[in-house]
Structures are given as C-alpha cells and as structure tokens.
Chains A and B, each alone.
Chain A
Amino acid sequence: MNAVKAQVLPGDFVRLGMSAVTEPFWQAAKEERLSAPKCGACGVFRLPPTPFCPNCQSTDVNWVELSGQATVFSYSIVRGFPGLPDIVLVPVVVDLPDAPGARLVSNVIDIDPADVHIGMELQVLFSPVRDGWRVPIFRPVANGHVARA
C-alpha cells in the first residue's frame, strides 16, 4: 500500500445546490457548526433535510447543533475523479450519535485509506468549497485533533 493520505475534492470542484429546506444546514456549516433538523412535533431527526417529517408529516423543524462526533457506518476508497486522475478519496457514510437515525455522506481525511474501518470514531471539521460555502468532513479522533467549534 502506498501511504498517500485520503484527501477531499479541491474546493473549486464542489458547487452546492440548496433549497429553503436545506439551506440552514449549509449556513451553519459556513460557520463551522454541524447541525441537523429535528422534527418539532415528534423529535425524529432527518438528513438530508426534507420538507415534511417522514414519521409524522409535520413541517415543524428545530435545527439542533451537534457535537460533531461521528462513527463510520460504511465507506469506499475512490481512486481518481473526472479531471483528477491521481486523487484518493475516502467517501464515508457516518452515523451521528447525537442525531440518531440520521446519516451523513462525507469524507474522512488525514488517514491512510488502508487504516479506515467500520466503527471508527471521527470528529467533524469543515472544508471550503465554491462561493464561500463549507462542507463538513471528518478526521479520526485518534489523531488527537478536535475540530474548531
């Protein structure tokens, strides 16, 4: 195995689309806060955000700020991307312990891809993309770095 660490797509490659329903997530991320919509009626979390609560159909939402802790549920190791033949990415699907039932698709960085495993504990940080926005990404807790809150 080579020791190339997992990267993220260069910020220039990522443009976000958003709606009134999803924008609060990205506004929070821009301020380096990870948040998730929680139904104002029944308390069920959902991600990505949807107009109705799938559990009780309420449109009432409370945006809850999360700790930024996450656990790897599954992942891939992607070698190459259109326009970036040598990039190595580790897309991860993570569980969020303080938003049960909601998952995020993100990236893990600062790790040899061979060392990523299901169940690994991660901590959020934020990576700039186009137009001044930021996306949440993750690094292993074992690295001893804690993301800026």
Chain B
Amino acid sequence: MSPAEVAVAGVGATPYYRRGESMPQTITELAGKAILAACEDAGLSVKEIDGFAYYSGAGAGYGAMMDTAEFMETLGIPEVTFSAALTSGGGGSAGALGLARAAILAGDANVVVTVMALQQDRQRLGKVFAAVPPHPLGSFLQPSGLAGPGHLMSVLTRRHMHNYGTRREAFAEVALSQRENAANRPTALHREPLTLDDYFNARMIAEPLCLFDFCLETDGAVAVITTSLERARDLRQKPVRVVAAAHGGSRDWGRAFAWMGMPDETFASAGHASVAKHLYRRAGVGPSDIDVALIYDHFSPMVIMQLEEYGFCAKGEGGPFVESGAIRYKGGSIPVNTHGGQLSEAYIIGMTHVREGVEQLRGTAVNQVEGAELALVTGGPAALPVSGLILGRDS
C-alpha cells in the first residue's frame, strides 16, 4: 500500500571546505560520509536505503559524477528499486526531494536518499562555460566572454535594474544580511563581518555584479533521507513533512541559457514564476503562510527576483523590498537564508538550503525562526528545470 505523505527523516553533511581543500577524499567518499551521517541522524541502517533521487543528472559539480552502483558497493546497500535524477544542473536541488517523494508515494521505494557532493579542485563552476569544449549552441554564447553562470546572470540583472530601478544597494543587502546570519554558525566558511563599504569597494567581476554578489566556491557533501511520514514518526528525529514540490519552468526561461530571446518580463527574472504558481497550488498555501525562505543564492540579485516570483513582493519591487530590511532574520517580515546561504556559509549546489529548512522545522536551527511551520526552499535559477519545495513542521 502506498503511503499518504512523505517526510524528511534524516540529514547529514561533511564539513564544508574551501575550494579544493576536501582533497584527497573522492566524490564517493564525501557523498558516502554525508549519506552515513544522514542515516545516523535518522536512526536508520544504510542497508535500508532502496532509492536514490538525484538532480543535476547525478553530476557532482561539472566533470564529476555520482554513481548508484558505486555507493551500493562501498556502503553495502543490498538492493535498490529506484535510481533516477532530475535533468540539467543545480536548478533541481529542491525538486529532487519531489522526485524522492514521487518514488515513495508510488510505492517504488521506501527509503530514498538525495545527495550532492562537490569538489572543485579541477574545474571551478564560476568559469565553467569558458572550459567546456565548443558546442553548436554554446558557440553563440562563449565567444562573448560570458565565462560562467554569474556572467550570464549579470546581463539579466542589468535589465532588471533598467526596467525597475533596482539598485546595487539591494544586492548589497542580500549579501550583508546573509553574512550576519552566518556570523554565529560554526559551519559557515565566512563569518567575518561584511560592511557596505566592503561591498562597494569589492572587485567587479561582471558588472553590475561584484565579488560579494557571487557565491562561495566550496567543497563538501549533503545528503537527505526521505521516507513515508508514518515511518518517519517511528525514527529518531521529529519528521519534517514534504508538503509540496515542483520543478520545471516555461519555454521562455529555458531560452535564458542560450537563445536569450525571451520577453522582457522573463528576461529580468529568475525563471521561477510558473514553478511558484504550481508549488503554492499543490501545497494549498500562499506566500504569507511561509515562515522562512531558503532561496537559492548563487548570485545575490537572483534572490531578489525569486522573492518577486514567490510573491513576497510585487514584480519589480524586490529591490526596495529587501532594502527595507524585510529579509533580515532579526526584524524582517520574511527571514531569508538564515544559514548564511551560498554567499556566506557554503555552496553545495542548493543542498545547504534543504538542510536548513529541515533544521528550522525540527526547531533546531542555529538561527531559529520562532514557531516556524512552513519553509520554502528553492533550486536555481539555472538552466531548466528550476524547482521549489515547501517543507512543513509535523504536528
């Protein structure tokens, strides 16, 4: 019989490392450590895992892969009944839990792990477009010198500033507020204070984006175990409900990584509008019901555009909204990235946001939002699919 509802039962992670400092461990070791830690957290034997739900095509950053058979062999997992991945890249991070949920609700698997491991000793994600061999579509992009995703997002950001008057002060507020959230976190790689002067004196990388608008380049792994809510209630931790998940996106947003022909409103966006609509409808809630938002923050302006698309403010008003202090943990109307995010804690391609969402709804977060009932977690903007997830406290 299929279960009625799915929950996160365990979360595990390696330490977070600066780029390249996780060597000489391998991707399989990093991911394996995170999986074992997640099982320990849940109070489950690793031998009970019978499903893998990846994203990014089971890639581990660019140029490295994860492999189910290798995990089964090294961890001693006897059999799997589900092994699948969302396509494309980091945009699927939140949606991978939806893939796990689908497998469990269908009765295809009982205990599913979603894992991401990242090691940037060979290829830095920030300059990945410059490194890939010439591709027929990429040849319409690469010669321009848009060397990585941040460079591409800088062009979208410029249009948002042009259309709506969004200021760099707003991007600074995203970076500063998240740094403040990271200050008291042992897991954060950047805890030192960041001031407005630091921000405006920083090196420009792809104007209008400066160094502090770009996320960290880090190594590490995070794993999440999902199972039926009923089963999770018998395990070690307070379950966190997977209330709804959605991944996908519109054709217009799909053009944002090659064709660039999308209409103005989509050009100056984070590509989450359609996913946000489906996510809220499936969850039966709206933005005012969300207590904490863990917004994918590879580049600070894209946080602002997602806040618009998830309805925390109107389209085009994201700049003034964040500048008003609305996303601050202390005193904000919607605390954003209470873990410091990818800008200040660590970048594990979206998985730190899932981890923080789980901790917030267990009530164990370092920067706990009092009485948090619902958390929004997003993946991307990136090439399609992008994704969203609503996690809920178990009553």
Task: Spell out A's residues near B (CB within 8 Å).
Answer: 8-9, 14-19, 21-22, 26, 46-48, 54, 73-82, 87, 89, 91-93, 101-107, 113, 118, 129, 135
Contacts of A107 in B (CB 8 A): 143-145
Q: Do B145 and A101 have beta carbons less than 8 Å apart? A: no
Q: Do B146 and A91 have beta carbons less than 8 Å apart? A: yes
Bound complex: CA A18 to CA B350 (Å): 33
- Tell me which of B127, B203, B206 contacts A76 (CB under 8 A): B206
- Tell me which of B137, B138, B155 contacts A74 (CB under 8 A): B155
Contacts of B203 in A (CB 8 A): 79
Whole-angstrom distance from the CB of A15 to the nearest CB of chain B?
A: 5
Q: Do A91 and B136 have beta carbons less than 8 Å apart? A: no
Q: Do A76 and B261 have beta carbons less than 8 Å apart? A: no
Q: Do B144 and A105 have beta carbons less than 8 Å apart? A: yes
Bound complex: CA A48 to CA B204 (Å): 29
Per-residue CB contact flags for chain B residues 324-338 toward chain A (1 = under 8 Å, else 0) read 000000000000000
Q: Do A106 and B144 have beta carbons less than 8 Å apart? A: yes
B72 at the interface (CB under 8 A from A): no
Bound complex: CA A54 to CA B59 (Å): 30
- Tell me which of A47, A76, A87, A113 contacts B140 (CB under 8 A): A47
Whole-angstrom distance from the CB of A124 to the nearest CB of chain B?
A: 14
Q: Do B139 and A17 have beta carbons less than 8 Å apart? A: yes
Bound complex: CA A113 to CA B207 (Å): 10
- Tell me which of A14, A73, A76, A80 contacts B143 (CB under 8 A): A14
Contacts of B139 in A (CB 8 A): 16-18, 22, 26
Interface hits, B218-258 → A, CB 8 Å: 251, 258
Q: Do B134 and A16 have beta carbons less than 8 Å apart? A: yes
Bound complex: CA A8 to CA B146 (Å): 11
Bound complex: CA A15 to CA B155 (Å): 23
Contacts of A129 in B (CB 8 A): 143
- Tell me which of B130, B205, B261 contacts A79 (CB under 8 A): B205
Q: Do B260 and A93 have beta carbons less than 8 Å apart? A: yes
Per-residue CB contact flags for chain B residues 148-189 toward chain A (1 = under 8 Å, else 0) read 000100111011001000000000000000000000000000
Given A18-B139, A91-B151, A105-B140, verify A118-B146 contact (CB < 8 Å).
no
Which of A21, A77, A102 gathers the greatest number of chain B CB atoms within 10 Å?
Answer: A77
Q: A82-B131, A93-B155 are in contact. List 19 more A-B contacts (CB 8 A).
A: A17-B135, A18-B136, A19-B136, A48-B137, A48-B140, A74-B155, A74-B158, A74-B267, A75-B155, A76-B146, A76-B155, A78-B146, A78-B147, A78-B154, A82-B127, A102-B261, A105-B144, A105-B146, A106-B144
Bound complex: CA A89 to CA B204 (Å): 12
Whole-angstrom distance from the CB of A41 to the nearest CB of chain B?
A: 19
Contacts of A8 in B (CB 8 A): 143, 145
Whole-angstrom distance from the CB of A16 to the nearest CB of chain B?
A: 4
Bound complex: CA A91 to CA B205 (Å): 13
Bound complex: CA A79 to CA B156 (Å): 17
Contacts of B200 in A (CB 8 A): none
Contacts of B130 in A (CB 8 A): 81-82
Q: Do B260 and A103 have beta carbons less than 8 Å apart? A: yes
Q: Do A105 and B141 have beta carbons less than 8 Å apart? A: yes
Bound complex: CA A8 to CA B259 (Å): 21
Whole-angstrom distance from the CB of B217 to the nearest CB of chain A?
A: 14
- 11 CB < 8 A contacts A-B: A17-B134, A17-B136, A47-B259, A73-B159, A74-B155, A77-B207, A78-B145, A78-B154, A80-B205, A82-B127, A91-B145
Contacts of B146 in A (CB 8 A): 76, 78, 91, 105
Contacts of A16 in B (CB 8 A): 134, 139, 143
- Tell me which of B134, B135, B155, B258 contacts A91 (CB under 8 A): B155
Whole-angstrom distance from the CB of A78 to the nearest CB of chain B?
A: 5
Bound complex: CA A82 to CA B139 (Å): 17
Contacts of A48 in B (CB 8 A): 136-137, 140, 258-259
Nearest A residue (CB) for B144:
A91
Contacts of A103 in B (CB 8 A): 259-261
Contacts of B207 in A (CB 8 A): 76-79, 113
Whole-angstrom distance from the CB of B149 to the nearest CB of chain A?
A: 12
Q: Do A78 and B206 have beta carbons less than 8 Å apart? A: yes
B133 at the interface (CB under 8 A from A): yes
B368 at the interface (CB under 8 A from A): no
Bound complex: CA A43 to CA B205 (Å): 40
Q: Do A22 and B136 have beta carbons less than 8 Å apart? A: yes
Bound complex: CA A67 to CA B383 (Å): 32
Bound complex: CA A21 to CA B139 (Å): 13
B274 at the interface (CB under 8 A from A): no
Contacts of B156 in A (CB 8 A): 74
Nearest A residue (CB) for B264:
A73
Whole-angstrom distance from the CB of B180 to the nearest CB of chain A?
A: 28
Interface hits, B289-305 → A, CB 8 Å: none
Whole-angstrom distance from the CB of A74 to the nearest CB of chain B?
A: 4
Bound complex: CA A46 to CA B258 (Å): 12
Whole-angstrom distance from the CB of A103 to the nearest CB of chain B?
A: 5
Whole-angstrom distance from the CB of A127 to the nearest CB of chain B?
A: 8
